[in-house]
Structure 1
Amino acid sequence: MGGNTIATKLTYLVSHPIQYQASLLARIAAHGDINLRVVFERTSSQADHFDSGFGRTVEWDVPLREGYDSVVLSDTDLQTEIADADIVWLHGWQTPMLRHALMLARQKAVPVLMRGENCDLAMPDGWGPKGWLKRFYLSRIFEQCQGFLAIGTENENYYRARGVSASHIFQMPYAVDNDTFADKALKAAEQRASLKASLGIAPEQKVVLFAGKFQHRKRPDLLVQAMKPLLGDGSPVLVFVGSGDMDGELRRMAPEAIFTGFKNQSELPAFYDLADVFVLPSEREPWGLAVNEAMACGTAVIVSDQVGCAVDLIGPDCGRVFPAGDVRALTEALLHCLENADAMGKAATEKITGWDFDADVRGLTTALDALKGDA
């Protein structure tokens, strides 16, 4: 790659440093044909580290701004940043900076790539005047973009349903650093027996895992209900990794479950490795990157049909998709996946292999080439 080709000056605008994106941005910056510059609307101060979803202060233990050129909006001039770019890439349209950048790019005739998480499962327009106004607003946003980076099928359908043509949509799948998660899970496997013992889990017991924010829309309470018919001697154990508003309620509902509290990014692979099945029973979930993480660690996965990644990542070989809110269906899915956890875990690893940062870079470069060709 590269050769005598002049690198595309790509300016990426995003609200703040995001732990899931850091490694991807470093990978893009290392690409010889892309000169990446990232503009953050803000960075976290110590006070900003409080995460309302987790209900606690969070300090991520992965580097968020290493391996790529970045600047905070307060330390630069947005108009100059836009003018210097060949192409502008926006992560959504929900903040003042992103909307202002869209206006500036139009004024300076700089092509715009849009990447968002929206899907109708999680973010329907609604009905009546409110729905009409939202569709009108989105049409004004989208008509100012020259390309769209789809994170998956549901996201692509969202754009198509709002008038975006297929020729303007490029695949840039929502991915995590598969290699890092897989490597850490492999190392953690050596200490799996020790971790089980430290948590009071018998060596032969199966483990069902929920990891994330204890929020109502994530439906951890549904998982507790679905596990009840499985309880008994030698029954699988339910492990909750995370924190949030429902912490006290869940502890009351499931006194037999194990609660580890919040675990940071580097600690999660050990728990994915520990688990036989990972469950995300959410309602209105745009994607669910924890599913990617679990699959990269070789864990079978169960998700509801309102989780955005379901259609792309979950097949009968690596997990189950159940109707959102259906306790009985989730119980049946648990029984099946627990019985077939080893084979499903291997299939999950194979499935997620192609859903990675390499695919992201390929999709992004395809989009950049297309937009430069149209310029």
Structure 2
Amino acid sequence: MACFTCIESSFGHHLPILETIAQMLFCVSQLSGQMVELFEACQQQLSDLERKELCRAQLQREIQRLFPLARLYLAGSSLNGFGSRNSDADLCLVIQAAPVDQRNDAVYVLSLIQQLFYRLSYIERPQLIRAKVPILKFRDKVSGVEFDLNVNNTVGIRNTFLLRSYANTEQRVRPIILVIKRWARHHGINDASKGTLSSYTLVLMVLHYLQTLPEPVIPSLQKEYPECFSPTMEIHLVPERPKDIPLYSSSNDASLGELLLGFLKYYASVFSWDKQVISVREAKALPKSNSLEWRDKFICVEEPFDGTNTARAVHEKVKFDAIKAQFTEVRPRERFTTGVFLPHFTYSGIPQLTPTLSQTFCSHGRCSN
């Protein structure tokens, strides 16, 4: 690397610009460090997972009194590598190989389990939620974990192990996704129940961005290893098949800070919301068709296994505009995301840092929602 004296002698009249660039690079380096700090403070610990697994195993034994052949799977962020210390846990109860009618049969099964849970001293507040995929919500008194239990929504098991494979294939994937989830939650755009983005959709958006860089950070694992992620694979084989997928060697050496700012820029000015569909399965943006799944939808994110739109909760224009605003309002010479962790630039062009990520998102040693 050229020394500063050489740069000064060659580009003396450009020195203020070079100093600003140097400060900007330092600022992005600081941001990368803050991202690592937040990730290490907030990532789910092995002890957290062990508590959830202990409850899952105990509940499976209880449920098998009603359904002897049933199996209970831990799914979602608790197992896919993108959970934080206080993540809720998703459970999928598989009672048969064939699909279950979610409107009637799943509700009936969950009502039986609800009655069972009323009799278990360590379970409190079992509540049946009737939705497109009905769930039984409850809390384990021992671990303090909130659980959502569904019946035969097996696509959730499949995508859990797909995302887990992405989390393990490249070391930058987990930190950037956890940080972006916290950023989105902080700005009120990470709550599907309120018409914004689910955490699953956010994860797919980040993976898509990492796949579509000129030098990709990650590939499409479904294209590279189709035998590991077949949508017709028997469900009991799903957790085992991806175990031997090797680490991906990317020629992209961008820092976490650079990738984060690139993610914001991609969805602010590159991705076409009204014309494209995000596809992690294909590792590219697909043209938006006029099919019922995509027609008149504000955000289109393809579920990697069943092809449905994971962003269907965003059905109001005001919510869509609020989501887009968090990307499009991030511009040079303006403060990034008011009061949060990203770098911003003063009007004199000198980069500064807002409070650290852990100061913004963590308190008392635990990661906030």
**TM-score, with length taken from structure 2:** 0.26
Whose strand fraction is larger, Structure 1's or Structure 2's?
Answer: 1
Q: Which has the larger radius of gyration?
A: 2
**TM-score, with length taken from structure 1:** 0.26
